[in-house]
Structure 1
Amino acid sequence: MISRRNIRVKVMQTLYTLNTVDGEIKNMDPVKLLQKQLDSSRQLFIYLLYTLTEVARYAETDSLKRASKNLPSAQDLNVNTKLSGNEYLWKILESASFQKAVESEKPHLVEDSKTQVKNIYNQLVETPEYKEYISTQSREKKSEKDIFVFIFTNMMLPNEDYISHVEEHFTNWDDDAEMMEQLMLNYLQKPGSYNLQEMVGEEKWLFAKNLLATSREKREYALELIKPKLKNWDAERIAVLDMILMEMGVCELLYFETIPTKVTINEYIDLAKAYSTPQSGQFINGILDNIHKDLMSQNKIHKVNFKNK
């Protein structure tokens, strides 16, 4: 479920923590720290997915509450509950993996979660998109998925109150926000089909551990290649994150034979743009491109035929 890009982000964050934090965490086994980072991402994703399902289910809750008033109005007695029967909702709710995740992580116990769900739902029912969705009785697959994507991307992510709530309970939100959006959109393509207990498959977990270990073990050699390319830059004054990304990039160029060099360079440029300074992407592009050319001229980069992999 988690992509190689996501893995690079988690390795980057782990290396950054090991480089900048003192105390117990600095002395922690790097692989265990990486696993902790991935576990935190999993917990955050499960909470976001749980919120999404609860917003959809709230249509039924709203209907029951309003119908049970002492003097319900005609409108109270005719609340549209189409959303609570959404095909995508029930694929998620009936998924054994989702049920197990809710049982283990207990997202319903997060303080103020019910209030957040109610507020999002109340804002949702006022939108033209929701009104259009409930205006038709048919359940076309596209509209069933689109309303779920709309709730997540337009009602949850831009909602300042909800995001403040998430930040309060999940300290990794700032680091993982971009990843969460992509994971959710991928998940909603085939709801209920992913194993939420194992968001990182065996192959990608091996890639993660190897990238982390190689970036640590080969750091000095990577720095030997990077420093001569810095020209007038003082290596000590370059952003820590930029140095980490360049070190990871060099290690990937040299020691990961099935990953095309172009893919590696582009990935680290994108990560620099997303997680470092506005100028970092161009800066890292120049350094990695120069190192790549030198290594190629010295016949030090050996890639297998990745097209056959």
Structure 2
Amino acid sequence: MLTRRQIRVKVMQCIYALTLSHDESLEKQKKFLRVSIENTYTLYLLVLSLLMELHKMEENFIRLSSKKYLNENGEKYPNKEKFLNNAVLKQMVTNSLLQNELDKKKLNNWDLHQDYVKIVFNEIKKSELFEQYMLNGAHSYEEDKNLIASLFKEVIAPNERIYEYFEDDKLTWVDDIPLVNTFVLKQLRKVNEEYSQSFFLPKLLKDTDDMVFADQLLTKTLLNNKKFEEEIQIKTPNWDKDRIADIDAILLKMAICELTGFSSIPERVTINEYLEIAKEYSTPKSSIFINGILDKLVKEYRINGKLKKTGRGLL
């Protein structure tokens, strides 16, 4: 679920938080990193549980609308329970593994914030996607899947109130929201009738090496902070230390750490990764600045033997 680039971003966030707080506790930052990574999965589960909560709200709506004085739209739809019986939604709400995971983590957020669920529910009901789906008397798994994926992409994911809720809940989720939404959409498009219940519970990290990488990148960068800072200053003699943006300085230190401390990661991969992160998280010219510094350092490291890379794909 999390790629190496996203892991690098989380390490960057930890170091930036340390820079602002001036808290030099390595153990505290390592704990913050682990929690930040784990919270990405919590956000993923909350997004899925929102879909499940929408199904529950539709169930209540159908029950209430069966009373004549609340029966507003039922008559115009060939099957007023079509959305309630949507196959993909039912796969989620009947998924015992998913429900157990939500219970284990005590993720009852939507029970406590039904107003947010209602906002999304009403937006869905007003959407053209929902109207066309309900007016179509035919029924198929593919139609059900396409509806949920489309509603998620066009109605749920862009909802500003839901975004604000997640943003207020946990600061690190600001960067996780696009990642999680993209992943959920991929899952909704890939799910099929023969799915395993574990389909909606993917691994957060590809393997244990990813967590080791995250931990070592944070630790080595922080422990060698002064040394990396001096290397950057040597390569930027005309720049005052305070003129270099905090994020640029952090990304440069992390890149130097990877180049010299992670022999299995190709130098080209390291440079490309940090240039892409700089484009997204720093100033418009940051990637050019960072590229220039790293290019000088790589040439120097090759000459003095500090660039010791092993394995495949290092050309």
TM over 0.5: yes
Give runs of aligned pairs for residues 173-184 of structure 1, distance below 5 A.
173-184=173-184
- Alpha-carbon distance change, 217 to 124 in structure 1, aligned in 2, over 3 angstroms: same
> In the aligned structure 2, how far is the partner of 1:14 from the partner of 1:161?
27
TM-score (norm: length of structure 2)? 0.83
RMSD: 2.9
**C-alpha separation between the residues in 2 aligned to 1:74 and 1:130?**
12
User: Given that residues 74 and 80 in structure 2 are in contact (C-alpha distance below 8 angstroms), is that contact kept between their aligned partners in structure 1?
Assistant: no
CA contact (8 A) 1:57 1:83 kept: no
Distance across 2 between alignment mates of 1:228 and 1:257: 24
Structure 2 CA distance, aligned partners of 1:80 and 1:290? 67
**Aligned with 1:258: secondary structure?**
coil
Within 5 Å, give how 1:7-86 maps onto structure 2. Answer: 7-22=7-22, 26=25, 28-70=27-69, 72-73=71-72, 75=74, 78=77, 80-86=80-86
Q: Report the equivalent of 1:6.
A: 6
Change (3 A) 1:256 1:133: farther
Q: Please say if residues 66 and 77 of structure 1, whose CA atoms lie closer than 8 Å, have aligned partners that are also in contact.
A: no
Per-residue deviation, 1:222: 2.5
Equivalent position of 2:114 in the other structure: 114
Mark the runs of 5 or more structure 2 residues left unpaired by the alignment. Answer: 192-197
Once the two structures are superposed, residues 93-136 of structure 1 have per-residue CA deviations (whole angstroms, 9 ceiling, x without a partner) of 34444212210333334575322222212212322223333426
- List per-residue Cα deviations over 1:159-196 (Å, max 9, x = no partner): 22222222233333323233323332344355542546
C-alpha distance in 1 between matches for 2:230 and 2:141 = 58
CA drift of 1:208 comes to: 1.1
Number of residues of Structure 1 aligned to a counterpart in Structure 2: 305
After superposition, the C-alpha distances for 1:184-229 in whole angstroms (9 at most, x for unaligned) are 2344355542546x62342211111121122123333322332222
CA shift for structure 1 position 288: 2.0
The percent of aligned pairs where both chains have the same amino acid is 29
Mapped contact 1:222–1:247 kept (Cα < 8 A):
yes
Does the Cα contact within 8 Å between 1:63 and 1:76 map onto a contact in 2? no
Q: CA deviation digits over 1:232-268, x for unaligned, max 9?
A: 2222332222111111111112222222222211211
State the Cα distance separating 1:74 from its structure 2 match: 6.5
User: Please, which runs of 5 or more residues in structure 1 have no aligned partner?
Assistant: none
Flag the 1:215–1:97 CA change in 2: closer, same or farther, 3 A: farther
Q: Please name the residue that 2:140 is paired with.
A: 139
Q: What's the secondary structure of 1:137's corresponding residue?
A: coil
- CA separation in 2, counterparts of 1:248 and 1:123? 43
Partners in 1 of 2:302 and 2:80 — Cα distance?
64
Structure-1 residue corresponding to 2:148 = 148
Alignment partner for residue 264 of structure 2, among 233, 258, 270? Answer: 258
Structure 1 runs (4+) deviating above 6 angstroms are: none
Displacement, 1:274? 1.7
Structure 1 length as normaliser, TM-score?
A: 0.84
2:212 corresponds to which residue? 206
Q: CA deviation at 1:69?
A: 4.5
Contact kept? 1:156, 1:163, Cα under 8 Å: no
